[in-house]
Amino acid sequence: MATRKIRVMGEECLTKVCREVTEMNERNRILVEDMLDTMYEAEGVGLAAPQVGVLKRIVVIDVGEGPIILVNPKVIETSGEQTGQEGCLSVPGKSGEVTRPNYAKVEAFDIDMNPIVVEGEELLARALLHEIDHLDGHLYVEKVVGTLKDVNYDEDEE
Ligand code: NI
């Protein structure tokens, strides 16, 4: 297990448009493994490569139904609307209210570069859209209505 340092708001890597992955080589496989380890250790539901300082179009998500790995994801359809609290591992200790589509359909490639389609509603839709935003240098804080709130941490949290 190898975790990587999570970059936080203010760091330049979180503002960049990431480049497409052209092949799933060893380096990219290790990146995906490390991203999963990093996400699970931080107890996040998603992580995008720029959050660990790598400007590649890769995201990992787990909303409690097992890991989803998306390479070069593209949002191809959205519908409906949901409003709820959102947070981000790159904006530690904060959350804010964000309105997003309630449904999202995404085309991507899996870890073996096979084309896949992932669709989700509610939390999964929110996670898909939030993580894919990261690949274009966007953070959820841009979409927050009102102010960011402080999240109360457990005492054993750093
Ligand atoms: Ni995030």
Percent pLDDT > 70 in the chain is 96
pLDDT of residue 158: 46
Q: Is the pLDDT of residue 19 over 70?
A: yes
Identify residues whose C-beta is under 5 A from ligand 1, the ion: 88
pLDDT of residue 7: 98
Specify the pTM. Answer: 0.94
Q: In angstroms, what is the span from residue 64 Cα to ligand 1's centroid?
A: 17
pLDDT of residue 61: 98
Where b means 16+ CB within 10 Å and e means fewer, 63-81 reads beeeebbbbbbebeebeee
Query: How are beta strands 82-86 and 115-121 bridged, if at all?
Result: unpaired
pLDDT of residue 146: 86
Q: In angstroms, what is the span from residue 141 Cα to ligand 1's centroid?
A: 9
* Region 113-131 average pLDDT: 98
Task: Name the residues annotated as catalytic.
Answer: 131
